[in-house]
Structure 1
Amino acid sequence: MSTQFEHRPDAPTDASSGARPAPSVPDPAAWPGLDRPPSGPRTAVSALVARRLFAAAVSRLHVTVHGVGDRPLGLGGPAITVHRPEEFFARFGRDALIGFGEAYLTGAWGEGAPGAGAEGSSELGDFLAVLAAEMPTLVPAPLQRARAAVVRRPPKAHENTERQTRGNIAHHYDLSNDLFAAFLDPTLSYSSALFDAPQERAVDGVGELLRAGDPTPDADLESAQAAKIERLLDVTEVGPGTRVLEIGTGWGELAIRAAARGASVHSVTLSTEQQALARQRIEAAGHGAAVDVELCDYRLVDGTYDAVLSVEMIEAVGHEYWSTYFRTIDRVLAPGGRVGIQAITMPHDRMLATRRTYTWINKYIFPGGFLPSVQVLDEVTRADTDLRLTGRLSMGRHYAETLRQWDRRADAAAEEVLGLGFDETFLRMWHFYLEYSRAGFASGYLDVNQLLFTRP
């Protein structure tokens, strides 16, 4: 586990009700590199370039940026304030989008207009959504062609080999079960919910799909999480006697619901924290005899299963191992079996452009993570397995609403999180992570799909 997430007994144990804690200098032992901005001649040049690119980009967007120059930048819209411009552009110029996020963690910039009160509103996500919608064109084309020369590559230590994957998973999922319980609903589902909304049929480059309409704001999250799981169980025809393999246990809700239908479930995870709590929840629900939760890499799974289910786990596989992941599923799937995967996806062209990029999300949230496109999952399964993509439900805006509710819950639980030993910088990081993610789905830059694979 990275040192910045270790529980520290000397961390503050109070926070202003409903407000993001005021930024303080990050502890260099817990947050190396955040206690002071980068400096030197290279940083000075890159900061100057970043200032010019940033001003040119936001000036044509429907946002408002205070604190850069004599007057606000932008065409009006969600507002941010740059509190310390020199630090903001030093970090942004030196480390691109990683530095952009780190400057938020240190308080060099934040949401809202000057004097507008405590930060912590959803305006951050609204601002980032405008940027995400324009992501392919924010940087001039000539500079985009030089991308490969300036972006950082993922560290070799983040590659999801059998030896390293467990550490990558532990970095996030073994933070604290109490932390996740503080902002998730009672099902402890850490993936997109499916709210009640009309659905329409559409066609894209991979064929026919269902597209879920806009969810109702503030709809009940717990019932929407249950609906997401029940739909996956329905399309994979899980019922009495079904042998189910679940790749990625979470905290056990899918396994509980599958067992309640009369299925036997073998669930595998690499998170010791999740395994322990999932087993407790499964026993409490009365399904201990029907469900086995094993600490096991998906590559090592044996047996034969009528249904294979995996909810937002493929994002942690890494593009180098997508073929291995699907070949494993193909190997253990019984004749006539069905595969249900819920996957966060991105456009195919953006996936190709970013698959060797080290991001803020990789550094602080999901080391080794990478999002596929629907197209590449179709291509990989066609090339390397007998599986075929035969059903899809697109529901990206439902993830935007899920994340909005999570962020609101996390903000309300700030005192509880500080009491667990996390610090103010962690709270800002978590808020940025949730709103940064929400922006991707709200803008349409990201999507989440329930995918059904069968054998012809």
Structure 2
Amino acid sequence: MERLPLRVVLAGGSGGGRELGLGGPLMRVHDPRAFFRRIGSDGLIGFGESYMAGEWDADDLTGVLTVFAEHVAVLVPPSLQRLRALWARRRPEAQRNTREGARDNIRRHYDLSNDLFALFLDETMTYSSAVFRGFPADEDLLPAAQHRKIDLLLDAAGVGPGTRLLEIGTGWGELAVRAAERGARVVSVTLSREQRALAVERVRAAGLQDRVQVLLRDYRDVEGVYDAVISVEMIEAVGHEFWPAYFRTLQARLAPGGRIALQAITMPHDRMLVSLPTFTWIHKYVFPGGMIPSVEAIAEICAHGTGNGTGLRIVSAEAFGPHYAETLRLWRERFTRRAAEVGALGFDEVFRRLWTFYLAYSEAGFRSGYLDVRQFVLESGTAATGSGG
């Protein structure tokens, strides 16, 4: 830690402390013995667990985590990086995104509680990056920024009156409602029972149940042909070994001349390759079975992973990572401000620290440039065939 632009205060037995570092945000380690024991035993998983346990704190948690994200390549010595396969924890077989595994992985995150998500999301209940007009953004601007993001995707996919639209990953239904308000006929699929229940309720409240179907269905089991396919931050939950099946589904469901609009979090290709087999704190506590792709991985699968030699073509890939950092800041601040209400729902202090860490950790990834988010537009020159894998 002394090599990082970070100040670390290690608590002493008599109430004093020893400060390390040369500057930057301050990290206070209240229980150094427990903190270093966890890191020695479980590495970065232990680092997050130590925060959950209250063994360290920071006034600027995002600032501290941004420093780590900016220096992720040097946190592990080169000698140990070469031996990563020997010391890094491997992902458990139970988290593979088979049909059964995917249902369980989605349930563990998205079925926590609709009321919980409503406490920190805005009124649109949109759980993906917004697109702002400028920074810094005020919380009151978040609903309009989420609609701006949705409209960009709908425009990119050419959604209008009479469009047959397939949405893979419903969320809580805002995109489906907005598409139906344009005159589209929407089939939206999700594996989350909690999300589907609220999405159906919101569709009904908007008077659009004749234009929107929300199905509890795996994306691999979708049937039919559609003029447009949209999927927002769904690929991260697919699992890298199932990415080809996911893109086969996108292509197989698309009518000739149709377009796919895909919003995806991305990471550098070299870091993705290193991360593929690794079991992380995020996998253990937040997104079991998840994996963030690189742009190169998406391009490779689009071109060669469809199994019929034609592939999908990336028309555009617009990046807007800083907008996700801002979105996450607003969510985190709202979550922190409403901590008592989170507790009233039955979520204890450890859970609240877990989610505070998750939101700050994610924000740091985008602020550091370690993560990005893009809207891809894809086209295919083939007719729809097959079941999509």
CA contact (8 A) 1:195 1:216 kept: no
Residue 439 of structure 1 pairs with residue 364 of structure 2: yes
Please tell me whether the aligned partners of residues 11 and 31 of structure 2 are also in contact (alpha carbons under 8 angstroms). Answer: no
Q: Deviations over 1:2-41 (max 9, x none)?
A: xxxxxxxxxxxxxxxxxxxxxxxxxxxxxxxxxxxxxxxx
Asked if 1:192 corresponds to 2:139, the answer is no
Instruction: Tell me which residue corresponds to 2:378.
Output: 453
Aligned equivalent of 1:239, options 160, 176, 179: 160
Matches within 5 A, 1:91-130: 91-112=38-59, 123-130=60-67
**Could you tell me how far apart the structure 2 residues matched to 1:104 and 1:419 are?**
22
8 Å contact 2:66–2:368 — kept in the other structure? yes
**Which aligned pairs between 1:92-241 and structure 2 lie closer than 5 A?**
92-112=39-59, 123-197=60-134, 215-218=135-138, 220-241=141-162
- Contact residue 81 and residue 111 of structure 1 kept, 8 A: yes
Give the AA of the match of 1:164.
G
From 176, 196, 199, the counterpart of 1:255? 176
Contact 2:157–2:377, Cα closer than 8 Å, also in 1: yes
Taking the aligned partners of 1:432 and 1:138, their CA distance within structure 2 comes to 19
Q: State the distance in 2 between where 1:191 and 1:368 align.
A: 18
Aligned with residue 30 of structure 2, among 74, 78, 83: 83
Aligned match of 1:413: 338
**Aligned mates of 1:193, 1:60 — CA distance in 2:** 35
Structure 2 residue identity aligned to 1:192: S
- Moved beyond 6 Å, runs of 4+: none
Matched, 1:60 2:14: no
Query: Is the Cα–Cα contact under 8 Å of residues 61 and 130 in structure 1 kept in the other structure?
Result: yes
Question: In the aligned structure 1, how far is the partner of 2:216 from the partner of 2:261?
Answer: 21
CA contact 2:329–2:360 (8 Å) conserved in 1: yes
Structure 1 unmatched runs, 5+: 1-57, 113-122, 198-214
SS at match of 1:101: helix
> Take 2:11 and 2:90, find their aligned partners in 1: how far apart are those partners?
30
Judge which range, 406-415 or 67-76, deviates more.
67-76
What residue identity is the alignment partner of 2:136?
T
C-alpha distance in structure 1 between counterparts of 2:197 and 2:137, whole Å: 34
Q: Distance in 1 between matches of 2:302 and 2:52?
A: 40
The amino acid across from 2:203 in the alignment is I
SS at match of 2:297: helix
Q: Taking structure 2 as the reference length, what is the TM-score of the superposition?
A: 0.94
| Cα separation, 2, equivalents of 1:65 and 1:218 | 32
Measured after TM superposition, the shift of residue 59 of structure 1 is 1.3
User: Cα distance, 1:68 vs. partner?
Assistant: 6.5
Other-structure match for 1:326: 247
- Distance in 1, matches of 2:354 and 2:233, equals 21
- d(CA) in 2 for partners of 1:432 and 1:356? 23
Shift of 1:137: 1.8
CA distance in 1, matches of 2:241, 2:3: 38
| Cα distance between partner residues in 2 of 1:353 and 1:279 | 40
State the shift of 1:367 in Å: 0.5
Aligned twin of 1:340: 261
Residues 233, 265 of structure 2: 8 Å contact kept:
yes
Listed one character per residue, the Cα deviations across residues 192-211 of structure 1 (whole Å, up to 9, x for unaligned) are 101114xxxxxxxxxxxxxx
User: Is 1:82–1:110's contact at 8 Å kept on the other side of the alignment?
Assistant: yes
- Residues in 2 aligned to 1:455 and 1:163: alpha-carbon distance in whole angstroms: 30
Where 2:19 maps in the other structure, the secondary structure is coil
Q: Secondary structure at the match of 1:164?
A: helix
Q: Which runs of 5+ in 2 are unaligned?
A: 382-389
**2:9 aligned partner, one-letter code:** H
1:368-379 to 2 correspondence within 5 Å?
A: 368-379=289-300
Alpha-carbon distance in structure 1 between the residues aligned to 2:252 and 2:305: 11
Contact map agreement 2:7 2:21 (CA 8 A) in 1: yes
Structure 1 position 312, deviation (Å):
0.5
CA contact (8 A) 2:343 2:349 kept: yes
Structure 2 residue aligned with 1:277:
198
The separation in 2 between residues aligned to 1:384 and 1:367, in whole angstroms, is 24
Distance verdict in 2 for CA 1:68–1:134, change over 3 Å? farther
> Who is 1:362 aligned against?
283
CA shift digits 1:330-371 (9 cap, x unpaired): 111000010011101110000000100001000000110110
Task: Tell me the amino acid that sits aligned with residue 91 of structure 1.
Answer: R
* Distance across 2 between alignment mates of 1:283 and 1:273: 16
* Count of residue pairs the alignment pairs up: 372
1:75 Cα shift? 1.9
Task: Determine helix, strand or coil for the equivalent of 2:186.
Answer: strand
User: In the aligned structure 1, how far is the partner of 2:272 from the partner of 2:55?
Assistant: 30
1:61 shift after superposition:
1.9
The C-alpha deviation readout for 1:71-127, integer Å capped at 9, x for no partner, is 311221111100001100111110011100000000111113xxxxxxxxxx10111
Deviations 1:148-194 (A, max 9, x none): 11010110000000121101000000000000000000000000101
> Is 2:353 aligned against 1:428?
yes
Task: Using structure 1 for the length normalisation, give the TM-score.
Answer: 0.80
